[in-house]
Structure 1
């Protein structure tokens, strides 16, 4: 393959067992979970034990010729710090993992510092699931700002997914202004199918802010493969901030309940709307530079039985 592929947004867990907004998220069977009051197909149905393990992901990565992956975290999966610390220890050249604290209530700063001391090179905030009502958790609160300055000082990367539209953009502008050297990856391509999504994209005009496309095939699921609307959105974002500020992400494993893992990026390779150099940058080179991946594996193409 002429491309180095790096997945800038994925998830791993051994078991889901948590509470979000007072409702359970819990692994059951056949790839399904109880998700906020209803049964959902969380994993492909052949993953019958509910384990979304690094080894299964590596098999998918090898098959799809994806050299490395960034593993972020989400409250709906529960805290996966212990498992991810073990994953990156066993597979240091294949994964960059993010730690996560309980950001929904005050007092998280000591835990964040402990994760950094343990060797986590990034912290993830699922900011779209923070309280946004009367008990709102502000991204520019004093405790958040203290943590961000500590991360900036120690070279720790922030992975953050924002609420739909521009709701949290002014807070992020404050964070970026106070911490201009803090490296930030904004997820879900700014929630691209929602109003005002470009306001999130425009944050990447700042030097250390990147945008990753985790979940873009989910957001354009109603359109489905080959996701022409998604490619046009990537093109629009690139015209605004430059292709060098954008990274491909799959949102594995949730998105592969509908498509294969390879399909989550090959619609980019097949698109006539991006040049070869733009595809190389978007699919891997930008993430390689931003996350500092080294010793990337080269993966051969293995023919399918159907070929």
Structure 2
């Protein structure tokens, strides 16, 4: 395989120990976590200590021939800024990392400036977590706009996941119009299996906006591999906004409790619905350009014992 593959949406953490919407998230044994009131298989059961490390991910990446990955963040994993900076410094050609601020309380604009000073070149907003019972945090609020203008002026990338449908697209569209130089990647393929998902996809009609598919195999989990619905959705989005606006993402490691890491993109390789050029762009070329990856490693195929 000659193409260089980049994963535009993945996660790392050393330990989950946080609270979201008043509910605890805690690392347990054998890949399980206490997740907001129930025990869930958060990562594969052979990761018995619950440490979702860069080294384990690199082993998966090398096996699956994935050259590089973008590490995003989510409140359910807790703040991983310190660890991700270590990862970026240790493996600069393999990982692009996003910083996370505490957006649920005032003061995050100052946090974003501090993260930039520490070396982060991107900020992640799990915006679906900002519809709080005690009051919604709007993406076009004064403090958010202050942060976005700072990011635009300092060539930082915004990685963002939105709530289902169009509940936040109007706010984000205002941000896009106010900050036309701010590069934005919208995750989870617009929450593709939810109503009105194309409202999120349509935001990529703006030159500075991209869509990444992190979690698409989770969203189409009911139909399972080879995910024909996911392929159809990618085709529909490409026809609407162009394949140059779309990037592959896995949502590793949560998605590989159901499938292998390679399976999270292998269904793209096997489909006849996309041309080879479209596969090249979706699986790596678009992300390389957007995130600025330069020296991408070439990985050999390692034959399985079962072959």
Superposition TM-score tier, normalisation by shorter sequence: over 0.9
Aligned residue in 2 for 1:252: 252
**1:138 & 1:157 partners in 2: Cα distance?**
19
* 1:264-279 paired onto structure 2 within 5 Å: 264-279=264-279
What is the Cα deviation at residue 91 of structure 1?
Answer: 0.1
**2:246 & 2:4 partners in 1: Cα distance?**
15
What is the Cα deviation at residue 143 of structure 1?
Answer: 0.3
Aligned residue in 1 for 2:208: 208
* 1:23-38 paired onto structure 2 within 5 Å: 23-38=23-38
Q: Do residues 192 (structure 1) and 192 (structure 2) align? A: yes
Q: Do residues 50 (structure 1) and 50 (structure 2) align? A: yes
* 1:267-306 paired onto structure 2 within 5 Å: 267-306=267-306
Aligned residue in 2 for 1:153: 153
Aligned residue in 1 for 2:17: 17
Aligned residue in 2 for 1:65: 65
Aligned residue in 2 for 1:86: 86
**2:57 & 2:134 partners in 1: Cα distance?**
40
CA contact (8 A) 2:156 2:182 kept: yes
Secondary structure in 2 matching 1:68: strand
Aligned residue in 2 for 1:227: 227
What is the Cα deviation at residue 131 of structure 1?
Answer: 2.7
Q: Do residues 98 (structure 1) and 98 (structure 2) align? A: yes
RMSD of the alignment, in Å? 0.6
Aligned residue in 2 for 1:263: 263
What is the Cα deviation at residue 134 of structure 1?
Answer: 5.7
Q: Which runs of 5+ in 2 are unaligned?
A: none
**1:158 & 1:225 partners in 2: Cα distance?**
31
**2:222 & 2:287 partners in 1: Cα distance?**
28
CA contact (8 A) 2:21 2:132 kept: no
What is the Cα deviation at residue 106 of structure 1?
Answer: 1.2
Secondary structure in 2 matching 1:67: strand
CA contact (8 A) 1:126 1:160 kept: yes
What is the Cα deviation at residue 133 of structure 1?
Answer: 4.7
**1:294 & 1:72 partners in 2: Cα distance?**
19
**1:132 & 1:42 partners in 2: Cα distance?**
24
TM-score (norm 1): 0.99
What is the Cα deviation at residue 23 of structure 1?
Answer: 0.4
Structure 1's consecutive aligned runs of 4 or more residues displaced over 3 angstroms after TM superposition are: none
What is the Cα deviation at residue 56 of structure 1?
Answer: 0.1
Aligned residue in 2 for 1:116: 116
Secondary structure in 2 matching 1:123: strand
Secondary structure in 2 matching 1:224: coil
Q: Which runs of 5+ in 1 are unaligned?
A: none
Aligned residue in 1 for 2:2: 2
Single out whichever of 185-194 and 128-137 deviates more from structure 2: 128-137
What is the Cα deviation at residue 77 of structure 1?
Answer: 0.1
CA contact (8 A) 1:104 1:131 kept: no
Secondary structure in 2 matching 1:273: coil
1:108-153 CA distances to partner (integer Å, 9 max, x unpaired)?
A: 1111100001110000000001134561100000000000000000
CA contact (8 A) 2:9 2:187 kept: yes
CA contact (8 A) 1:13 1:53 kept: yes
What is the Cα deviation at residue 2 of structure 1?
Answer: 2.6
TM-score (norm 2): 0.99
What is the Cα deviation at residue 272 of structure 1?
Answer: 0.4
CA contact (8 A) 2:204 2:241 kept: yes
**2:19 & 2:133 partners in 1: Cα distance?**
18
CA contact (8 A) 2:247 2:282 kept: yes
